[in-house]
Chains A and B, each alone.
Chain A
Amino acid sequence: MANSTARKVQLMDYDRALELFEPALGFEVHVELNTKTKMFCGCANEFGSGANTNTCPTCLGLPGGMPQVNEKAIESSIRLGLALGCEIAESSRFARKNYFYPDLAKDFQTSQYDEPIAHDGSITIELESGREITIAIERAHMEEDAGKLTHVGGATGRIHGADHSLVDFNRGGVPLVEIVTKIIEGAEADAPEVGRAYVRVIRDIVKGLGISNARMEEGNVRCDANISLRPRGTTTLGTRTETKNVNSLRSIERAVRYEIQRQAAILEAGGTIVQETRHWHEDSGTTSAGRPKSDADDYRYFPEPDLVPVAPSREWVEELRGTLPEPPATRRKRLTAEWGFTALEFQDVANADLLDEVEATIAAGAGPAAARKWWTGEIARLANAQNVPAGTLVSPRHVAELAALVDSGTLTDRLARQVLEGVIAGEGGPQEVVDARGLAVVSDDGALIAAIDEALAAQPDVLAKIRDGKVQAAGAVIGAVMKAMKGQADAARVRELILERAAATE
């Protein structure tokens, strides 16, 4: 299957597009909750199980099956709503969204319609430039996921050209929270970054709440981006497209940018935008038309008769409010100030997802600069090489210990890296590795002097130069001494001693 189309898609230059048009955005983010069981039944909510091993009459849509609401999912949804600054509904209802699809076991999705659990919130995001934007949240509601389809026989495993399809209902019924923004206007040229930053904040929030594994690459957080353009100076919103299948923060940014360019080119040429679903293609960096939105999208919503309203008491809501962690933006400001980092330095840590580790390392006694250096430097390097998250390699406590050993002069930076390897290999904590491997810097001057004398004797011309006042010549001797000491010496002290010896033995 080729991605190339006979007709090449025109794209307008981005800056020109923004000159002529004003973008309006909207995002629908689906968050997969990490509850133990599904939304409406007691089947396990887990990944990687054999096909159709986690189903029951309810989530398999068998005749006679009936739903039972997962209390933990309600709790997580309320906490998420609060973290998004939303009002939590006094009374909330489930509704049926009716449509036919082979991965939808009941051929309706139990969702929420006009009485969502949370509504009317807002969050503030910060762009790299420092610009802050407040995103208004329309609603957050609960629903269930569909099963998983595998298409067989086509060239790339996609629907087109497939011979038949297979359905696994293990993921059918998994709890989702859908977060819908109000229309975002005024993002202007920052629109692509706004999308990326917004979803990043959502991801950080749900991760911080502990309600989702929050891995976009695993589909825990999914984003649909709505984009429309209107000619500058007009007020009516343009026709929007909805782009799905954007699986990473980078994709969101690219997809928003692409759609703006694509729509601008069409509008400029006098064409009209088709209201449709589009698919993002990561490999080509383009969107392609899916199916048009039409009258056929009559979902015939009505209140779910097999479930009763959810009316969270105000006491319960306040109790849950008390469990909220610090909002990411507030945390970021506080830590940046506390640690004395520049915005870029802080960004490094945040982008590498090492905020928690650095914070814990500092709490264990390390200085902020050292903590940052170790985590974003050597540890991140080793983690990338092994393709594992940095936090799994070594504990913050050990990193703090390591930093302390360098601070006290027990280890040089180079020695510390060897010690780190030992700690990661499981040989014990830093001090243990130092002791076991004998890696401490030698602080006994006597041993150093002996090595120095030997080195000076071996290089008499250097000795002469030093006595002559050419102290730079000491460098040659330092190298020899460090080698003899197997690196376990403080180079600065060695230099001091060399100069002393050179003077003393005159």
Chain B
Amino acid sequence: MSETSAGEISAEQVAHLANLARIDLSPEELESLTKELGQIVESVAKVQEVAGPDVPATSHPLPLTNVFRQDVVRPSLTVEQALSGAPEREGDRFSVATILEEE
């Protein structure tokens, strides 16, 4: 995968990202997405202007720490509730098509 300068994004990259995100894209979608994303990436890249090394990152707006739960069992969903949305099931398990890749 070739590196492009910040702000540009290639169709090849978009196809790779779509694969990472498990979304099929038609060729038309790929083309329009590449164009749109190029524009967006160009404008959002400006965050690098002010993100100096001395500025810490904030991932939580309000700083909390040590929020814990006691190791006490809480009621689970019933099996029927758990399976209620299953597109396909076999007995009490979710059924999926053959898996290509081992984990």
A binds B: yes
* Complex CA distance for A162 and B100, rounded to whole angstroms: 10
Residues of A within 8 A of B20 (CB): 296, 298, 300
Q: Select from chain A the residue with minimum beta-carbon distance to B89.
A: A166
Q: In the complex, what's the smallest C-beta–C-beta distance from A437 to chain B, in angstroms?
A: 47
A111 adjacent to chain B (CB < 8 Å):
no
List CB contacts (< 8 Å) of A64-95 with chain B.
68-74, 91
Q: Mark A151-185, 1 if CB is under 8 A from B, else 0.
A: 11000000100111111110000000000000000
A51 within 8 A of B: yes
- B65 close to A52 (CB less than 8 A): no
Q: Is the interface of B mostly helix, strand, loop or mixed?
A: loop
Query: Closest CB of chain B to A351's CB: distance in Å?
Result: 33
Q: A287-320 interface mask toward B, CB cutoff 8 Å, 1 = contact, 0 = none?
A: 0001100011010101101011111100000000
A-B contact count (CB 8 A): 134
Q: Are A102 and B96 in contact (CB under 8 A)?
A: yes
Q: Given A53-B79, A74-B68, A101-B103, decide whether A162 and B73 contact each other with a Cβ distance below 8 A.
A: no
- The distance in angstroms between the C-alpha atoms of A163 and B59, with both chains bound, is 43
Would you call B77 and A51 a contact (CB within 8 A)? no
Tier of interface size on chain A: 35 or more
Q: Are A71 and B76 in contact, with the CB atoms below 8 A?
A: no
B94 and A166 contact, CB distance less than 8 A: yes
Determine if A251 is an interface residue (Cβ-Cβ < 8 Å).
no
B81 to chain A, nearest CB (A): 9
Residues of B within 8 A of A296 (CB): 19-20
Q: A100-B22, A166-B90, A305-B60 are in contact. Are A56 and B97 (CB under 8 A)?
A: no
Which residues does chain A contribute within 8 Å of B66, judged by CB atoms?
A: 308-312
A84 to chain B, nearest CB (A): 22
**8 A Cβ contacts from A354-373 to B:** none
Q: Is the CB of B92 within 8 A of A52?
A: yes
| B102 touches A (CB below 8 Å) | yes
Contact indicator per residue, chain B 60-71, by CB within 8 Å of chain A (1) or not (0): 100111111111
CB distance from B57 to the nearest CB of A (A): 9
Chain B residues in 8 Å Cβ range of A271: none
Contact (A53, B90) CB under 8 Å given A159-B102, A295-B1, A308-B60: no
- A163 x B98 contact (CB < 8 A): yes
**A71 close to B1 (CB less than 8 A):** no
Q: Are B96 and A69 in contact (CB under 8 A)?
A: no
The interface-forming segment of A35-43, A190-198, A386-394 is: A35-43
Interface of chain A, main secondary structure? loop
With beta carbons under 8 angstroms apart, the residue of A57, A70, A146, A300 that contacts B71 is: A70
Residues of B close to A167: CB separation below 8 A:
93-96
The answer on a CB contact under 8 Å between A71 and B70 is: yes
CA distance A152 to B98 in the complex (A): 9
B-contacting residues, A258-311, CB 8 Å = 277, 279, 290-291, 295-296, 298, 300, 302-303, 305, 307-311
CB distance from B21 to the nearest CB of A (A): 9
Q: How far is the CA of A71 from the CA of B67 in the complex (A)?
A: 9
Asked if A102 meets B99 with Cβ closer than 8 Å, knowing A36-B71, A53-B76, A308-B64, the reply is: yes
Which of A42, A57, A62, A152 sits near B69, CB closer than 8 Å?
A42
- Residues of B within 8 Å of A405, CB to CB, are none
* Residues of chain A with a CB closer than 8 A to B91's CB: 51, 166
Most chain B Cβ neighbours within 10 Å, of A41, A43, A166? A166
Q: Which of A51, A55, A91, A165 contacts B98 (CB 8 A)?
A: A165
Which residues of B sit under 8 angstroms from A71, Cβ to Cβ?
Answer: 68-71
Q: Is the CB of A55 within 8 A of B96?
A: no
**Closest approach, in angstroms, between the C-beta of A78 and any C-beta of chain B?**
12
The residue in chain B whose Cβ has the minimal distance to the Cβ of A55 is B82
What is the bound-complex CA distance between A70 and B66, given in angstroms?
Answer: 11
A1 CB → nearest B CB, Å: 15
Chain B residues contacting A169 (CB-CB under 8 Å) are: 82, 94
Q: Which 5 A-B pairs have the closest CB atoms?
A: A42-B74, A72-B71, A71-B68, A166-B93, A68-B69
